[in-house]
Amino acid sequence: MNSFPWRLRVAWRVTARMTPWLRSSQERYFESLEGLIRPQSRILDIGCGKEFLVSWLRPDKYLRWSASILDEAVIFGVDPCISSLRQNTSHLTACATVDHLPFQADSFDVVTANMVVEHLAEPEPALREIFRVLKPGGVFLFHTPNLRAPEVGLSNLLPYAFKRRVLVPVFEGGRQEDDVFRTHYRLNTKATIVSAAACSGFLVEGINHVFTSPFTQMLGPFVVFELLRIRLLSGERFESWRPDLVCLLRKPAT
């Protein structure tokens, strides 16, 4: 733990004290995926980037999902960023975009997208292409920000250049500039997901509003202000304001 910046270590201690129940939405996402996997399931990961399991997951969680997902499934991935694909060792990869997938129809049991659909300028053609490559009865599982959350709504108002040059280096240090894409948030509310799913033929099986790790944890002790807001919004009546969505759409079996 000492290898992490002091600000992050302080934020973790404060978080554990104020919101011991809080965990990353990445955990909720991979738990959902784990329940969908069968031996030799074929997964297509949209916007696969450098890795399938995020490297900063807790070691026990990482080992668990490595065994239950990586070792059980056959994983393919597509991404438009060549430099990210060159570093990816957990996929059979191709450089492609979601609206032109280089696979035959009915090829996959599961399609996944981890923090990707917020970048889709035209989500309905993308959903139709995902629908095409899924087998009948297959599912599309995605994890994305919730536009109704105050911090996401604020981010949507900020200029792209400012987010790319200022916010990303501060809050997501280590990301290369060519791995930062413009956000559109056109599939990032319950209403837009339901509408786009209906237009592309999907059945909606679940749209879950979830909390995640504090966005401001890189600011050290100042994370306390975000944690206070999280505690205030933890009641069910404020569920639609939670920052992330984990969603499951299914292609009809017939």
Residues 45 and 140: beta-carbon distance below 8 Å: no
Task: Please tell me the total count of domains within the chain.
Answer: 1
Quick check: is 168 in a domain? no
Res. 1 pLDDT band, cuts 50 70 90: very low
d(Cα 227, Cα 18) in Å, to the nearest integer?
A: 7
Give me the DSSP letters along 6-39.
HHHHHHHHHHHHH-TT---HHHHHHHHHHTT--T
Q: Predicted confidence band at 91 (pLDDT cuts at 50, 70, 90)?
A: confident
Q: What number is the average pLDDT over the span 15-43?
A: 95
Domain extent for 104: 23-114
Q: Are 218 and 9 in contact (CB under 8 A)?
A: no
Domain membership of residue 153 (yes or no) is no
Q: Does the residue 129 lie in any domain?
A: no
Does residue 27 fall inside a structural domain? yes
In CATH, what number is assigned to the domain containing residue 51?
Answer: 3.40.50.150
Residue 124: inside a domain: no
Classify residue 47: in a domain, yes or no: yes
pTM of this structure: 0.90
d(CA 114, CA 112): 7
Compute the chain's Rg from CA coordinates.
18
End-to-end CA distance of the chain: 51
Please report whether residue 207 resides in a domain.
Answer: no
pLDDT digits (tens, 9 = 90+) for 113-153: 999 999 999 999 999 999 999 999 999 999 999 999 988 98
DSSP bridge partners of 245: 144, 209
In a domain, 63, yes or no: yes
